[in-house]
């Protein structure tokens, strides 16, 4: 589990296709002596397992399913990536509970300066859009954010200067695709309603 609070912005240093998956090597500022092989790390909203590590980098393998349903299929060498290590019992829960399972990809429609902050409007895929609520939580590219408004399949979030500067969200432009994870409670309530 994660909290949606980015603790490093890594960089894709190498990509290699295997016979069934894709391997990414990620440069990071993490102290890798405390990251075990098999550890979970959130990469732009996707929980991935560390399979190898070296000085200042680690490797993950990504399945075809993950490549198809997330932005990871678009990654190229040099891409900057929001990273978060798994939460530990007793850690501060600064964001919200995040599983690292992408529910769908949204499309950035508009990015506008608003005072010192930035307002970002995103179109969510249908029928996922029904699970996004004003003042609810959402994870965009691994970052925990509060939904400001919802209008059919569009929703808006406000990025304070700190978030804009210390995550990859400051690089967003209209037309960009982003990984979305809806609030876990909304996911389970929706499933309960389907089966009730």
Other Cβ atoms closer than 10 A to 21:
15
- Shared domain for 14 and 81, answered yes or no, is yes
pLDDT of residue 18: 83
Query: Which residue in 93, 96, 98, 143 sits closest to 2, CA to CA?
Result: 98
pLDDT of residue 97: 80
The answer to whether residues 59 and 51 touch, using CB atoms and an 8 Å cutoff, is yes
Q: How many domains in the chain?
A: 2
Is 95 inside a domain boundary?
A: no
**DSSP string across 103-133:** -EEEEEEEEEEETTEEEEEEEPPTTGGGG--
N-terminal to C-terminal alpha carbon distance within the chain: 28
Is 121 inside a domain boundary?
A: yes
Enclosing domain of residue 172: 104-195
Q: Which residues of the chain have pLDDT under 50?
A: none
- Shared domain for 112 and 173, answered yes or no, is yes
Task: Give me the CATH number covering residue 143.
Answer: 2.40.30.20
pLDDT of residue 118: 97
The dihedrals phi and psi of 45, each to the nearest 5 degrees, come to: 100, -10
């Amino acid at each position: 589990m994660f909290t949606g609070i980015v603790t490093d912005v890594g960089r894709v240093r190498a990509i290699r296709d295997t016979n069934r998956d894709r391997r990414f090597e990620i440069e990071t500022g993490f102290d890798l002596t405390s990251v075990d092989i098999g550890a979970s790390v959130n990469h732009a909203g996707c929980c991935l397992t560390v399979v190898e590590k070296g000085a200042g980098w680690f490797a993950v393998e990504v399945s075809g399913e993950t490549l198809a349903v997330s932005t990871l299929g678009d990654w190229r060498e040099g891409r900057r990536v929001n990273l978060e290590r798994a939460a530990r019992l007793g850690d501060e829960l600064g964001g919200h509970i995040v599983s690292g399972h992408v529910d769908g990809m949204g499309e950035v429609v508009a990015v506008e300066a608003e005072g010192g902050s930035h307002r970002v409007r995103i179109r969510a895929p249908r029928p996922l859009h029904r699970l996004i609520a004003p003042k609810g939580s959402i994870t965009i590219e691994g970052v925990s954010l509060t939904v400001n408004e919802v209008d059919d399949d569009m929703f808006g979030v406000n990025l304070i200067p700190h978030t804009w500067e210390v995550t990859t969200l400051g690089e967003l432009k209209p037309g960009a695709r982003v990984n979305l994870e809806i609030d876990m409670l909304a996911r389970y309530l929706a499933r309960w309603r389907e089966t009730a």
